[in-house]
Amino acid sequence: MITVAVADDQAVARMGLKALLEREPDLRHVGEAADGAGALALLRRTRPDVLLLDIRMPGMDGLATLRAIAADAELSATRIVVVTTFAVDEYVFTALQAGASGFLLKDSAPEELVNAVRVVAAGEALLSPAITRKVIGLFGRHGAEPVLGLDTLTPRERELVAWVATGKSNEEIAKELVISPDTVRTHVSRAMVKLHARDRAQLVVFAMRAGLAV
């Protein structure tokens, strides 16, 4: 059973997400909050597997909430999906750096949202190719930065880290490279260990910072 919490300042949005989650036999809604402070209290009380988090909330907004969660080791197991009304803009990369595992627009189809919960609960990143391309374009303005551990990667691991930054799944990458998904998974896992990446989304951040994403 995957436990899910919701943080959004709009009561209608919280109600809709709760109703959607409660329809799924493998998902359990464990609580909701209307702002960042409430979200932190909720996480400490319920320790959900996934938090669906709105970015633009009054008081402590989503970005501040992400940073507070990242700074609290006891909350590090919760994966966070940013659910927003707004299209991708400058805050997206900041949210990834702060600990978000993915992004979803509020007008996404119900099956997309349900799938998002399952994907991030499994440790994957929810970064569609369209969103990833936009984020790479935004970050490309700042140039490459040093990434600790990058020089320890094998050529194959560097290649696969770059592929992860395209937003493709292991299966899609395997098909492109004509190798098995298990081989992709192995190399990606080794790269995450070497780079001390918390999850696949952070690996994407590192790839962008190092200039590997194209």
pLDDT of res. 36: 93
Q: Where in the chain is the domain with CATH 1.10.10.10?
A: 144-210
**Closest listed residue to residue 104, CA positions, set 89, 86, 79, 78:** 86
127-140 per-position pLDDT tens digit: 665 566 666 566 55
Please tell me whether residue 162 adopts helix, strand or coil conformation. helix
Q: Where in the chain is the domain with CATH 3.40.50.2300?
A: 2-126
190-205 per-position pLDDT tens digit: 998 999 887 787 888 7
| pTM for this entry | 0.74
* CATH number assigned to the domain covering 144-210: 1.10.10.10
Segments of the chain scoring below 70 in pLDDT: 86-91, 93, 127-145, 213-214
Domain spanning 2-126: CATH 3.40.50.2300: yes
Q: Which two tokens stand for residue 101?
A: 């595992």
Please tell me whether residue 201 adopts helix, strand or coil conformation. helix
